[in-house]
Amino acid sequence: EAQVTQNPRYLITVTGKKLTVTCSQNMNHEYMSWYRQDPGLGLRQIYYSMNVEVTDKGDVPEGYKVSRKEKRNFPLILESPSPNQTSLYFCASSLNPYNEQFFGPGTRLTVL
Partner 1 sequence: KNEVEQSPQNLTAQEGEFITINCSYSVGISALHWLQQHPGGGIVSLFMLSSGKKKHGRLIATINIQEKHSSLHITASHPRDSAVYICAAPGAGSYQLTFGKGTKLSVIP
Radius of gyration of the chain from Cα atoms?
13
2 belongs to the binding site for partner 1 (CB under 8 A): no
Tallying the residues shown for the chain, one arrives at 112
Q: Which of 1, 10, 40, 62 binds partner 1 (CB under 8 A)?
A: 40
Q: Which 20-39 residues touch partner 1, going by CB under 8 A?
A: 31, 33, 35
Per-residue contact flags (x/-) with partner 1 for residues 73 to 112, judged by CB under 8 A: ---------------x-x-x----xxxxxxx-xx------
CA 57, 22, 78, 89: dihedral to nearest 10 degrees?
70
